[in-house]
C-alpha cells in the first residue's frame, strides 16, 4: 500500500454466520432505474427467491401488497414501482443526497422475510467522446457533466479489523468537508466494509471502485480464474445497490506495468512466456470481469474501465485520452510547475509526500526520545528508498530548509500542499478539457511520511486544508506565462455568477499600490479566463514584498485569492505580531499587523476549520475548532525562514 509496513495479516476478520431457512430464502434483491425525469421515476425491483415448494407469497412494501406465485427452486421476478415528483440524489456540492428507504416483507404462511433497500435516484454516464486532440473522459450525473474532485483511498489500518465505525465516519466527513465528490478505492487494498459505502451514499461521495488487483501479474490457471469469477460475482452483488458506485475498474497500473515498466526484460521472460502472461491478463480483465458485470448489472449501471491508467505517464497520449497517473513530479523529479504544462483529460493519480502532523509524529516516540529527522524511528517511518532525498531536493527549490525538526515538519507539509495545489488548479482551469482530479492519496495505513492528506490518526495535514480551498465550487486561480498573469474563475455551481472582480497589488504592510476592477458573468459549470495582467501592475512595488489580491462578489457571496509573485523562499517577509482574541470555548479572532504567511495554528487536541493560511494585515478572521481550545500555539513561514537565516 504505497508506504505501508509489511505485516502478515492472513486471517478471518469478518463475522461468521450460519444461515438457515425453512421454506423461503431471499437470495437477492436489487433495483433498476428504468426512467427518471422531473415528473416521475420508474423503478424495477428484482427478486431472486429460493423456494422449497410450489407456493404463493405476499410482498408488502410502501403500503402495497402484491401476491407472487413461486415454483420449487430458484424464482426470478420483478415488481415495477412509480415514484411521482422524484427527489434526486446529487454528489456532494451539487445538491442533496436524498435516499429512498424501502422495506420489503415477504410472507408465506407464518414465515416472513424482511429486507431493507436504501437507494438514491440518479443517473451516471461515463462519457468517452473523440475530439480534435484525443478523446474525452468524464462523468455525467443526472445529465450534467460533473467535475470530479477527490483522492485515492487505501485501507485505514494494516489490521483491517481494527477500523471502527468512528474511523469511517471521521474519514468520510473529512472528505466531504474538503469539498470532495469522489473517492477512488485503490486496487492494492481491500473491498471496503458495507458501512463505508453506506456513508458514501449518505454524504454524496461517488466511488471509483477498483477490483483488487494492482501492479503485478496474476496467474491464469483455471482454479485461479474460477476464483476471480466468483470474487467478482460476490463483490458486485454486494455493492451493486449502492447509489455512490460510479465506476468499476479492473485493476491498478497493470496495463501500464506491462507496457512501460520493463518487466519482460527484468524477469528474462521468453517471447512465449510474455504471450502467455498477456493472454492471462486479457482473460481476467477483458473477459471474465466485464462478462460478470454484463450478467449482473443493468446497462445503465455497467460502467467498466479495464485498467487505471489507460496509458503510462511517459507517453504523450496519456494527456489526450483516458485517465492518467502523472508521476513526472516526484518519481521523475520534475518541478511542480510541470503540473501546469502537462494536464490530462482525467487525473486519477498524482502526488507528493509530506510528513504527518506533530501529534502523529509524537505517537511514534516515547517521552524520552528526542524528535529528530535523522532518528531511527523517523527513518523507519519513511519507506520510499529516496523519500527524504526527494523531499529535500524539492524543498530547496521553493523554501528555505529548516534545521529544527518541528519547523522542518511544518515546511514539509507546506511543500506538499504547494505542489498539489498547483496540480489541482491547473486541472480545474482546463475544464472541460480536464474533468477530474483525484490526488494520491487520502489516508494512511500507519504513521508515516507519505503522500496522504490525512495522517494515520485522521489529523488534517496542510495538504488537506489546501485541498479544501482548491476544491471549493468557486475557485479563483492564476496562471503565469512569462510576464503575463492569466486570471481564471472556475465555477462548478449549476448557476451563472454575475458580479464585480476587484484586483489589487498589496504590499506586506497592507498598503495598496495598484487597483482595478471588472464586471463579469461566469457561466455555470465552467472555467473562464477573466483577465490578463502583466508585470506593469508591479510598478512602484517589489515582487518580493507584495502580492496580487483578487476579490469577487456575486449574489452576496464573497470569494478571494492571494497570489504571490515569487516562490516562498524569495519573499521578503518580516516579523508579524499576531493577535488572538478568544470569542468562545472553541472560537477565536485572529489578526496581524503585517502579512503572516502560512499561519499554522497548533492545538494537539483540536482541528480547526482553516489552517496553514495567509493572514492579511488590517483584516481579522474568525477561526473555529471542533473541541475546546486548550493550548494554542501558532507558527508562520517567517519564523521558520528567519531562524534559518540567522
Tens digits of residue pLDDT in 39-57: 999 999 999 999 999 999 9
Residue 2: per-residue pLDDT: 55
Closest by CA to 253, choosing from 291, 285, 207, is: 285
Q: How confident is the model at residue 3 (pLDDT cuts 50, 70, 90)?
A: low
Catalytic residue among 192, 253, 256, 301: 253
C-alpha separations of 190 from 194, 212, 257, 455 in Å: 12, 6, 21, 19
Give the residue with greater pLDDT, 109 vs 192: 192
Catalytic residue among 192, 301, 340, 349: 349
For 554-597, the DSSP string reads: ETTEEEEEEEESS-GGG-------EEEEEEETTEEEEEESS-EE
C-alpha separations of 22 from 116, 260, 542, 576 in Å: 21, 56, 83, 76
Q: What is the mean pLDDT of the chain?
A: 95
Q: How far is CA 155 from the centre of its chain?
A: 14
Summarised one tens digit per residue, pLDDT across range 142-163 is 999 999 999 999 999 999 999 9
| For the chain, counts of helices (H) and of strands (E) | 14, 31
Cβ contact 183:207 at 8 Å: yes
340 is catalytic: no
Question: Does position 646 have pLDDT exceeding 50, yes or no?
Answer: no
What cell numbers appear for 222 in the block? Answer: 483455471
Q: What is the C-alpha to C-alpha distance for residues 224 and 398, in angstroms, rounded to an integer? A: 50
What cell numbers appear for 336 in the block? Answer: 511542480
Question: Does position 166 have pLDDT exceeding 50, yes or no?
Answer: yes
Residue 192: per-residue pLDDT: 97
349 is catalytic: yes
Summarised one tens digit per residue, pLDDT across range 382-394 is 889 899 999 999 9
Tell me the mean pLDDT in the region 601-622: 93
Q: What is the C-alpha to C-alpha distance for residues 408 and 316, in angstroms, rounded to an integer? A: 36
Question: Does position 94 have pLDDT exceeding 90, yes or no?
Answer: yes
Summarised one tens digit per residue, pLDDT across range 414-423 is 999 999 999 9
Amino acid at each position: 500500500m504505497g508506504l505501508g509496513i509489511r505485516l502478515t495479516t492472513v486471517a478471518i476478520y469478518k463475522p461468521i454466520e450460519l444461515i438457515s431457512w425453512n421454506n423461503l430464502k431471499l437470495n437477492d434483491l436489487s433495483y433498476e432505474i428504468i426512467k427518471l425525469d422531473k415528473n416521475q421515476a420508474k423503478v424495477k425491483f428484482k427478486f431472486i427467491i429460493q423456494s422449497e415448494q410450489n407456493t404463493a407469497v405476499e410482498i408488502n412494501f410502501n403500503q402495497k401488497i402484491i401476491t407472487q406465485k413461486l415454483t420449487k427452486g430458484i424464482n426470478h421476478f420483478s415488481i415495477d414501482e412509480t415514484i411521482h415528483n422524484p427527489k434526486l440524489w446529487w454528489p456532494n456540492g451539487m445538491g442533496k443526497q436524498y435516499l429512498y428507504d424501502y422495506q420489503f416483507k415477504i410472507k408465506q404462511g407464518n414465515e416472513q422475510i424482511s429486507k431493507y433497500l436504501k437507494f438514491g435516484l440518479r443517473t451516471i454516464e461515463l462519457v468517452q467522446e473523440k475530439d480534435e486532440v484525443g478523446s474525452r473522459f468524464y462523468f455525467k450525473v443526472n445529465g450534467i457533466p460533473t467535475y470530479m474532485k477527490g483522492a485515492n483511498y487505501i485501507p485505514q489500518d494494516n489490521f483491517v479489523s481494527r477500523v471502527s465505525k468512528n474511523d469511517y465516519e471521521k474519514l468520510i466527513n473529512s472528505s466531504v468537508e474538503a469539498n470532495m465528490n469522489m473517492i477512488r478505492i485503490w486496487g492494492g487494498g481491500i473491498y471496503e466494509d458495507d458501512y463505508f459505502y453506506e456513508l458514501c451514499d449518505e454524504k454524496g461521495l461517488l466511488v471509483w471502485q477498483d477490483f483488487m488487483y494492482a501492479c503485478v501479474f496474476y496467474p491464469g490457471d483455471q482454479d485461479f480464474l474460477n476464483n476471480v469469477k466468483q470474487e467478482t460475482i460476490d463483490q458486485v452483488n454486494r455493492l451493486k445497490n449502492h447509489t455512490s458506485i460510479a465506476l468499476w475498474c479492473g485493476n491498478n497500473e497493470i496495463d501500464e506495468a506491462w507496457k512501460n515498466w520493463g518487466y519482460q526484460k527484468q524477469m528474462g521472460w521468453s517471447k512465449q512466456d510474455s504471450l502467455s502472461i498477456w493472454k492471462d491478463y486479457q482473460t481476467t480483465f477483458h473477459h471474465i470481469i466485464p462478462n460478470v458485470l454484463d450478467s449482473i448489472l443493468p446497462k445503465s449501471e455497467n460502467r467498466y474501465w479495464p485498467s487505471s491508467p489507460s496509458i503510462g505517464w511517459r507517453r504523450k497520449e496519456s494527456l489526450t485520452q483516458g485517465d492518467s497517473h502523472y508521476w513526472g513530479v516526484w518519481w521523475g523529479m520534475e518541478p511542480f510547475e510541470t503540473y501546469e504544462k502537462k494536464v490530462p483529460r482525467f487525473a486519477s493519480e498524482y502526488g507528493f509526500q509530506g510528513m504527518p502532523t506533530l501529534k502523529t509524529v509524537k505517537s511514534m516516540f516515547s517521552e524520552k526520545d528526542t524528535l529528530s529527522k535523522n532518528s531511527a524511528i523517523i527513518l523507519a517511518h519513511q519507506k520510499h528508498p529516496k523519500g527524504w532525498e526527494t523531499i529535500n531536493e524539492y524543498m530547496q527549490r521553493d523554501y528555505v530548509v529548516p534545521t529544527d525538526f518541528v519547523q522542518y515538519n511544518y515546511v514539509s507539509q507546506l511543500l506538499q500542499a504547494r505542489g498539489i495545489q498547483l496540480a489541482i488548479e491547473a486541472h480545474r482551469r482546463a475544464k472541460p478539457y480536464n474533468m477530474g482530479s483525484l490526488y494520491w492519496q487520502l489516508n494512511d495505513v500507519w504513521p508515516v511520511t507519505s503522500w496522504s492528506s490525512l495522517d494515520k490518526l485522521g489529523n488534517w495535514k496542510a495538504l488537506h486544508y489546501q485541498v479544501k480551498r482548491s476544491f471549493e465550487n468557486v475557485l479563483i486561480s492564476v496562471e503565469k506565462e512569462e510576464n503575463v498573469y492569466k486570471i481564471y474563475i472556475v465555477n462548478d455551481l449549476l448557476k451563472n455568477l454575475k458580479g464585480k472582480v476587484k484586483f489589487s497589488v498589496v504590499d506586506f504592510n497592507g498598503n495598496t499600490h495598484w487597483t482595478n476592477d471588472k464586471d463579469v458573468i461566469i457561466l455555470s459549470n465552467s472555467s473562464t479566463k477573466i483577465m490578463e495582467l502583466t508585470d506593469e501592475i508591479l510598478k512602484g512595488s517589489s515582487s518580493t514584498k507584495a502580492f496580487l489580491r483578487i476579490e469577487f462578489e456575486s449574489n452576496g457571496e464573497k470569494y478571494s485569492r492571494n497570489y504571490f509573485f515569487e516562490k516562498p523562499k524569495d519573499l521578503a517577509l518580516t516579523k508579524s505580531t499576531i493577535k488572538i482574541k478568544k470569542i468562545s470555548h472553541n472560537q477565536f479572532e485572529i489578526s496581524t499587523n503585517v502579512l503572516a504567511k502560512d499561519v499554522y495554528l497548533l492545538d494537539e487536541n483540536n482541528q480547526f476549520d482553516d489552517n496553514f493560511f495567509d493572514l492579511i494585515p488590517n483584516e481579522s478572521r474568525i477561526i473555529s475548532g471542533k473541541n475546546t481550545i486548550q493550548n494554542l500555539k501558532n507558527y508562520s513561514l517567517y519564523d521558520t525562514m528567519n531562524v534559518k537565516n540567522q
